[in-house]
């Protein structure tokens, strides 16, 4: 069995391939997002261009996209959230993380993808990058105020 790169668990020939080849249209924004990820893995850059809304195609770089997709090692797609984007909706949003390795190392591409319907087809409009929250530590330092609220230093109170 040839599993689909989108991570659905279905066979590629029954999942994203028919959407990429134009044999069927994506029924939901998430289905289009999954097909776009699979298109990166399979280096189907014509589909990436054609599944982008015409109002958002300016500056699309076929050659650069092809080179990047072909030279990357794809490690998976994780869909975190979908907002609308169903079969009867006109707009949708898919929050996802795409993981890959390129010459610069391992990356997690975390994005809020925006989708719109045009002529009864789902199309990608834009992606808004989501930055990782700043690293924080819940560790209490020896000289920090004690977490119990006593007003003493941690090392003289609960940290003894």
Q: Where are the domains of the chain?
A: 12-132
Name the CATH code of domain 12-132 (choices 1.10.40.50, 3.40.1590.10, 3.10.450.50, 3.40.718.10). 3.10.450.50
Tell me the pLDDT of the chain averaged across its residues: 91
Res 149: pLDDT: 63
Task: Provide the pLDDT for residue 2.
Answer: 84
Say what the pTM is: 0.81
Mean pLDDT calculated for residue range 5-22: 96
Residue 84 region, left (φ>0) first, then alpha (ψ -120 to 50), else beta? left
Closest CA to 97 of 81, 77, 117: 77
Number of Cβ within 10 Å of residue 159's Cβ equals: 15
Q: 25 falls in which pLDDT band (50, 70, 90)?
A: very high
Burial class (CB in 10 A: 0-12, 13-18, 19+), 114: buried
pLDDT digits (tens, 9 = 90+) for 103-123: 999 999 999 999 999 999 999
């Amino acid at each position: 069995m040839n599993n689909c790169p989108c991570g659905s668990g279905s066979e590629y020939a029954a999942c994203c391939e028919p959407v990429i080849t134009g044999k069927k249209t994506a029924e939901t924004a998430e289905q289009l997002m999954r097909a776009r990820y699979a298109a990166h893995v399979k280096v189907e850059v014509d589909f990436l261009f054609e599944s982008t809304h015409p109002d958002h195609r300016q500056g699309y770089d076929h050659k650069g996209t092809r080179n990047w997709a072909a030279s990357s090692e794809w490690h998976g797609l994780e869909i975190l959230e979908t907002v609308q984007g169903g079969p009867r909706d006109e707009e949708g949003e898919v929050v996802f993380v795409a993981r890959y390795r390129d010459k610069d190392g391992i990356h997690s591409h975390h994005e809020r993808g925006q989708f719109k319907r045009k002529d009864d087809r789902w199309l990608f409009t834009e992606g808004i990058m989501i930055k990782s929250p700043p690293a924080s530590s819940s560790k209490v330092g020896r000289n920090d105020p004690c977490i119990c609220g006593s007003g003493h230093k941690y090392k003289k109170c609960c940290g003894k």
